[in-house]
Every structure is written in C-alpha cells, then in structure tokens.
Chains A and B, each alone.
Chain A
C-alpha cells in the first residue's frame, strides 16, 4: 500500500480531532480530541520517516509521546481542580471571564 494513504488517514484523524475540540463541551473530551490530533501527527511523522528513508521522524514521534504524557498530567490536574470547585467539567459553564 502506498504510504500516501497513511498521510491521508493522518489528515483525517487530525481533522476529526480539530472538529471535536470545536464542538464538544466536556473539557475531558476536548482534551482527548487534542490527544487525537497529537497522535495523528505521530502517524504523519512515522509515515514521512518511511518516505524519506530516515529515522528522525520515528524518534520525533517518541518525543511527541513523552510531551503528550506530560501534558496529560498537567491538563487533568487543572480540569480536576476546576471540577472540584464547580462540580462540572463543561467548558460552557466556565463563563465568568468575558468581554
């Protein structure tokens, strides 16, 4: 199978993630959509690595995974803090700051 198909799949996953961030209301689901975007990028990196015939892309995918894991720690702790005070994780309810 041509590696280009993987690039298309990656673009599709990235788009799904983007749409998910824009339309979903629960902070955790929004965050999962961001993770989907990051993993779509990983797929792209690995595919490009294959096309270019170098290992750099695969190494970069590892970096991305580590960074994504760190982001999960920080993100979930922030979401949990706001859930404790508000009893909701909906991003629509966080509306004190505007205009």
Chain B
C-alpha cells in the first residue's frame, strides 16, 4: 500500500479509470453481443458498438485531461493516471478509431479481410452450389477460394445475394477492444505485475488477429505462430526480470524499486540483471533493435489492417511502458545502465536502415522502417528529461498516424490474388491513381522526416532532447541513419512517378467510406502535426510521470 492510507487504497477513482473501464467493459459486452445477435446483424452492430466504445473512452480521456484533475495513482497503486499517461491513452484511442474502421472495411476485400465465418461460408456454399466457391475442399477453415470478385465496394449485410462473399468473423471486434484495453493498462501500469498482465492482455488477441487473414492463409498463420512463439519467449524474459527486481526491492511497485536503488547499498547484480531481462521483454514489444526479428515477418503476413493496428498502437503502448519504467523506476540509476541502451538504440537504427534498403516488399520495408524509428524513439526515452518525455510522446502520436495511413494505402494497391506488396507493383502508380500516389508519397516523406510533415517535428524534438542530455554521438548516428533511410522512401516515390506501369500490373481499388476516412485522418494528422505542432507538443509536455 506504500504511503497511502488504507481507505484511499480501497477506494476506486472511477473518474480517472473511466477510459480503461469503458474499453474493457465494452470488450466484455462485445463478446456477449457475439453470442446473442443473429449472424446477419452482428457485423454492423459490432462495428458501431466498438467505434462508440473507443470514441466514448477518448472523450473520457479528453474530459479528464481538460478538467484539471490532478495526477492520481489508482487501484491500490497499480495504475497511475498522470499527464503523460493521459496523453498516451489519448494517442492510443485516437489511433484505434482509424484502425477499427480499416479492420471493419469490406470494400477493398469483399467480405472483409478476415477469414469467413464458418456458418456464413456454409450458407454461401449451399446457395451457390459447388460451382463458384471452391473452398474448404480440403477441410480448411478458410475462405481462400472466394476468387475473382470483380467489382469492389459491393454492399452486403442483410440478405446477401449469391455473389456476395461470405461474411467475415466478427469476433475480431472484441479482440481489438481487449487488445486496446491491454494497451491502455500497459502504458499506465505503475507496478510490474500489472504491466505483465497488461502485456499478455494486449498480446494474446494480437497473436490471434495475425492468423486470421482471408487470403494467403499460410503466410498469415505462419506470422501468427512466429509472433506467438517469440512473444511468449520474450514475455518469459520480462517475467524473470520482474522476479529478480522483486527479489531486489521486495516490491514490484516502480517507485519502490527506485527507492530501493537509492537506499542503503545492496547487491546491484539483481537490479541490473532484472533490468536487462525486463528491457528484453519491453524492447521486443516495441520492436527495437536486435529484438526485432519477428517484426518484418509478422507485418508482412498479418492482414494489413491488423498490421496497421499493431504498428501504431503496440508501439505507443510499449514505448509508454518503457518511458515509465525508465523514468520512474530507474531514473536514479540511469548513469549506470544508459550506456548499454545506447548500443541497443544504435543497433536498432542501423539494422532498420540497412536492412530496409534491401527490401522488395513494401510491408516489409515499413516493418524495417519501424525498427529504425524505434531506435529514434529510444533516443528520446534515454534522455530522462521533460524534453525527452514530451518529444517521445509527440513522436509516437505522429508516427502512429503516418503508419496507419501508409498501410491503409498499401491495402488499396491490389493484384489478382490480393495486395500487390512487391515494390515492382508500385511502378507508375501515379499514372493509375494520382491521389493514392500523392498520399503515399506524402506519408513516406513524413517517415523520412521532411519539413512540413509531422515526421520532421517529431525527429527534431527527439534529437534535440537527446543532444541536450549529452547524447551527441547517438544523435549523430540517428541523423546519418535518417539520411540513409530517406533513400528507400524516395526510391518508392521515384518508382511511382518516374517509371511506366507494367501492363499486367496491380490495380488500385476504390476504397469504401471507412478506409477513406481512416487514410484521410492519417494524412491530415500527419500534415497538421507538421504545420501546427505547438498544441500537441504542449499537451505532450504538460506533465511528468507520477511515481
């Protein structure tokens, strides 16, 4: 209970917890809806319900942030609702809106990007006969066979015509809400046990979502297995770190660990071994540096909307937790461990940049770019100063929206058997679809960090914070890597504008309203944060972590 009195510890501050409770409660209700609703109405109800949950939770965060209510530690000290925590919550929920829209979209991929509901599949087969649906012949739980569905943007729902592809699994909506709830708890966790449980709550639904693609089932399942095994491996390391720190401090509360480290001398072996193992688990989730091996495979294999959700939201949650652990629990011992993490940050930037150059698949390229960006963000985390904190928070917001927009655009460029993916498919895209090419170019420039995009402001904030905290060598490596990374972003732009399209090249689907909104939101925020970053920077720098 620490210094709190017992009654404080038992009381629950519902006002502070509201966003988290709304999302997790919504997830539970969403599971119930799955059970009671008739199949034809599930998708629309689930979509509206999930969006409403996310928006209401976002409103709760905004109300809390603007009400001037002080920072509090709730639930007997296990969650800390403070200014940076609210910013992270706001970022996560704001990113969840376009993510949910993209996940639910079925204009790009008829029937939705996820595997068909088995019931719906069986019904569709009965209606159509064996002729036009050639799936499940081998007993696979798949909808791979719904081929050549000509027109995009068909409207399904109630009373589907024979040509409508079977409806997707609607269980993905509760999955997303649970993952989101885990992310919220992860970034606000004030003790390591809560952090571990939140880590699993956010990871388990993501493992499943990765394996549910309608097309390219083998790739999708392979991604799920790799993500799951490596994720479980990493969380075991995280947990061993927790155990060692518990042995060191006699408590897993972050502030208690800091107090023990500052207290009378005791064996540092447990403290630093614990920190090292903890960091392995956290870095894995944030796909930093040498712990990134799952990233390209999972980003490529997972359904693209899931990749967008993962790339944006998981990164925010993981770096939120990293910031909190570094600042609150290990801020006082920073001098002793920071050197090692310099090496990790450099490794991350170099690996992401060098391997990114060699990629031929756009989704893999985005994955390696996310590894490089994780290195840049880590610079901000390592500067344990208010400037580093606000820079990192801003970076996460900016990067999340840009990535969602890019992956949304990637999902539009399609060849016969799904997304084009390969870079050669993007040759001459500007002639086929100037709008998509322009939006993609803008977002890639934002990733490269060109002025007037959010990427520039974010990089500037993080690098200047690092420089001010005496990390000049790290910042120099960061700048060199940004320059090299600009090459592979520009290569795609050159390919889109200055080469001729292949005659049998991929086509650009016309997105339905939901994907359009998601992409527009991503592009607009990228532009807005680049032109007028002040408000967001101010909010990001509004406060510090509460111990």
Q: Which residues of A pack against B, CB within 8 Å?
A: 7, 14, 17, 21, 27, 30-31, 34, 37-38, 40-41, 44-45, 47-49, 51-52, 54, 56-57, 60, 63-64, 67, 70-71, 74-75, 77-79, 81-82, 84-86, 91, 94-99
Contact = CB atoms under 8 A, between A and B. Distances in A.
Nearest to B144: A85
7 contacts: A54-B251, A70-B200, A71-B232, A75-B229, A81-B141, A81-B211, A96-B222
A63 B222 contact: no
B419 interface: no
A38 B217 CA distance: 30
B200 A94 contact: no
Contacts of A63: 193, 196-197
Interface of B: 139-142, 193, 196-197, 200, 204, 207-208, 211, 217-219, 221-226, 228-229, 232-233, 236-237, 239-240, 242-244, 246-247, 250-252, 296-297, 300-301, 358-359, 364
B141 A64 contact: no
Contact of B236 (A37, A45, A86): A37
A67 B218 contact: no
Given A52-B250, A84-B140, A97-B219, A44 B244 contact: yes
Given A81-B211, A97-B219, A97-B301, A31 B232 contact: yes
B540 to A, nearest CB: 32
Contacts, number: 126
Contacts of A14: 236, 240
Nearest to A45: B243
Contacts of B233: 21, 34, 37
A27 B218 contact: no
Given A34-B236, A86-B218, 14 more contacts: A7-B247, A21-B229, A37-B239, A41-B236, A41-B240, A56-B246, A75-B207, A78-B225, A79-B225, A82-B222, A84-B141, A94-B225, A97-B300, A99-B364
B399 to A, nearest CB: 24
Contact of A17 (B219, B228, B236): B236
A94 B232 contact: no
A17 B73 CA distance: 37
Residue among A30, A54, A85 facing the most chain B CB atoms (10 A cut-off)? A85
A47 B246 CA distance: 11
B222 A97 contact: yes
Contacts of A44: 240, 243-244, 247
Given A78-B208, A78-B221, A38 B236 contact: yes
B208 A74 contact: yes
A60 to B, nearest CB: 5
B225 A45 contact: no
Q: Is the interface of A mostly helix, strand, loop or mixed?
A: helix
Contacts of B251: 54, 56
A82 to B, nearest CB: 4
A67 B207 contact: no
B140 A74 contact: no
Given A44-B244, A60-B252, A91 B229 contact: yes
Contacts of B301: 96-97
Contacts of A70: 200, 204
A78 B224 contact: yes
Contacts of A51: 247
A78 B200 contact: no
A38 B246 contact: no
Contacts of A86: 218
Contacts of A74: 204, 207-208, 228
Given A57-B246, A74-B207, A30 B229 contact: yes
A67 B197 contact: yes
Contacts of A75: 207, 228-229, 232
Nearest to A48: B247
A98 B420 CA distance: 17
A51 B224 CA distance: 40
Given A27-B225, A78-B224, A85 B140 contact: yes
B226 A94 contact: yes
Contacts of B222: 82, 94-97
Instruction: Rank and list the top 3 A-B pairs by shortest CB-CB distance, nearest first.
Output: A37-B236, A48-B247, A97-B297
A14 B345 CA distance: 27
Contact of B239 (A41, A56, A97): A41
Given A17-B236, A56-B251, A67 B196 contact: yes
A52 to B, nearest CB: 4
A71 B301 CA distance: 21
A27 B232 CA distance: 12
B246 to A, nearest CB: 5
B123 to A, nearest CB: 22
Contact of B252 (A56, A64, A67, A94): A56
